């Protein structure tokens, strides 16, 4: 899974990326700080089932901290998007291409309005215009790619399959294409679209195949009602108020040992031996996260993974009585599965041979036998019974 972080320059994208991953992305207060894409690993968080089951887990593919399972997610932060990016302005085509492998996109906007859509300082710039600009540039870029293949598309009666071939590298499926065309009342055989039709189709295709949420960043410089206003104007799009700068401060302080902090929490515990300057800074941070219920950064990632992409967490085990693998590791793996996945889908995720030889599954809680077609539920603990060695 890959989450893309996009936005106009100087909106705090790299700060949010660094807060999520603690990778030292270059951070500065000027446009085009990010030249090449930053790629790192962030962690989606959910309560672990170990306490419910009365065991102490020993994770293998994830982390567990104070009963919270941290599941790794790939994140990419790309160069800032400026008006005309689809024509190659800024980093233009390169970073749009970087983004298209993402499963979901987080657009970062400056909710304080202190930077304009090009990233320059402003007395006030409407965050809504940032959202429109970014979505428009992405649609125009993808529409341009489609138009480059217009000759082939005009000759193909199976235009949907032709589009699937051209766009296969962008995690676009046939179902996505058909839904987007239906939404725009466009015919998919012998396609002869002009620029307007291609851009409208691309707009729908992006929304369907790359669901987007809005990170209303720099909330520490704005008011909660500013987020509410943007949310109302973007009816149907998830908008989360956040402060990447404060989250990064917290995570760096936790990494240094100055505080004990669980990402997503609205409080932290201060350690011993901090300076007066650190104490003053942490006092301000403490007041902010208590007033806002946290920084919003962890909520941003969790919302993308679990609400937007509709994933659930499943724990595969080999011993249904001890909840362990064959090495004795208890609840070793927390696996993200698409909501609606079956026990056989889980088997395939573990190994293709296990799926081929699968006989049935066992619910480790109830010890009941489950069919291959059993639809997985969030926090299921499952044993796969297979003939595979």
Reported as a single tens digit per residue, the pLDDT across 23-39 is 544 434 444 444 455 78
* HEC-encoded secondary structure of 136-173: HHHHHHHHHHHHHCHHHHHHCCCHHHHHHHHCHHHCCC
As a whole number of angstroms, the distance between CA 219 and CA 189 comes to 48
Class assignment of domain 2-37+78-233?
mainly alpha
Domain 312-386 has CATH 3.30.70.260: no
- How far, in Å, CA of 25 to CA of 38, rounded? 7
Q: Are 359 and 385 in contact (CB under 8 A)?
A: yes
Residues forming CATH 1.10.8.470 domain(s) in the chain: 2-37+78-233
Question: Of the candidates 210, 306, 303, 295, which has an alpha carbon nearest to the alpha carbon of residue 254?
Answer: 295
Residues 323-353 pLDDT 10s: 999 999 999 999 999 999 999 999 999 999 9
Per residue in 233-267, pLDDT tens? 998 899 999 999 999 999 999 988 999 998 999 99
pTM above 0.85, yes or no: yes
Domain with CATH 3.10.20.30 in the chain: 312-386
Each of the 389 residues of the chain gets a pLDDT tens digit; together they read 999 999 988 899 989 999 999 754 443 444 444 445 578 899 999 999 999 999 999 999 999 988 999 999 999 987 677 777 666 655 545 656 777 889 999 999 999 999 988 888 888 999 999 999 989 988 998 999 899 999 999 999 999 999 999 898 889 999 999 999 999 999 999 999 999 999 999 999 999 999 999 999 999 999 989 999 999 999 889 999 999 999 999 999 998 899 999 899 999 999 888 888 889 999 999 999 999 999 999 999 999 999 999 999 999 999 999 999 999 999 999 999 999 999 999 999 999 999 999 999 999 999 999 999 999 999 999 999 999 77
């Amino acid at each position: 899974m890959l989450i893309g972080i996009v936005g106009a320059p100087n909106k705090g994208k790299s700060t949010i990326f660094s807060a999520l991953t603690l990778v030292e992305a270059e951070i500065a207060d000027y446009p085009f700080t990010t030249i090449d894409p930053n790629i790192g690993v962030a962690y989606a968080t959910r309560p672990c089932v170990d306490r419910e089951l009365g065991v102490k887990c020993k994770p293998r593919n994830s982390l567990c901290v104070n009963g919270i399972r941290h599941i790794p997610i790939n994140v990419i932060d790309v160069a800032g998007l400026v008006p005309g990016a689809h024509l190659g302005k800024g980093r233009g085509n390169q970073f749009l291409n970087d983004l298209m492998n993402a499963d979901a996109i987080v657009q970062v906007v400056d909710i304080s309005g202190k930077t304009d859509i090009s990233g320059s300082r402003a007395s006030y710039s409407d965050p809504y215009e940032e959202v429109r600009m970014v979505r428009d540039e992405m649609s125009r870029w993808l529409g341009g790619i489609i138009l480059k293949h217009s000759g082939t598309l005009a000759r193909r009666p199976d235009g949907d399959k032709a589009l699937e071939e051209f766009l296969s590298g962008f995690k676009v499926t046939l179902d996505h294409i058909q839904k987007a065309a239906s939404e725009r009342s466009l015919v998919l055989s012998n396609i002869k679209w002009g620029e307007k039709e291609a851009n409208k189709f691309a707009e729908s295709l992006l929304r369907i195949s790359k669901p987007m949420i809005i990170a209303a960043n720099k909330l520490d410089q704005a008011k909660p009602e500013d987020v509410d206003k943007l949310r109302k104007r973007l009816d149907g799009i998830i908008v989360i108020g956040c402060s990447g700068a404060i989250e990064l401060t917290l995570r760096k302080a936790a990494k240094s040992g100055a505080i004990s902090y669980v990402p997503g929490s609205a409080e932290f515990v201060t350690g011993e031996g901090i300076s007066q300057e650190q104490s003053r800074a942490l006092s301000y941070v403490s007041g902010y996260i208590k007033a806002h219920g946290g920084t919003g950064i962890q909520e941003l990632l969790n919302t993308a993974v679990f609400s937007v992409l509709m994933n659930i967490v499943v724990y595969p085990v080999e011993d249904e009585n001890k909840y362990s693998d064959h090495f004795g590791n208890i609840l070793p793996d927390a696996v993200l599965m698409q909501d609606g996945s079956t026990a056989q889908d889980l088997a395939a995720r573990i190994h293709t041979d296990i799926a081929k030889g699968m006989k049935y599954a066992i619910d480790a809680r109830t010890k009941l036998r489950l069919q291959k077609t059993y639809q997985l539920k969030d926090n299921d603990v499952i044993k796969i019974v297979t003939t595979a060695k």
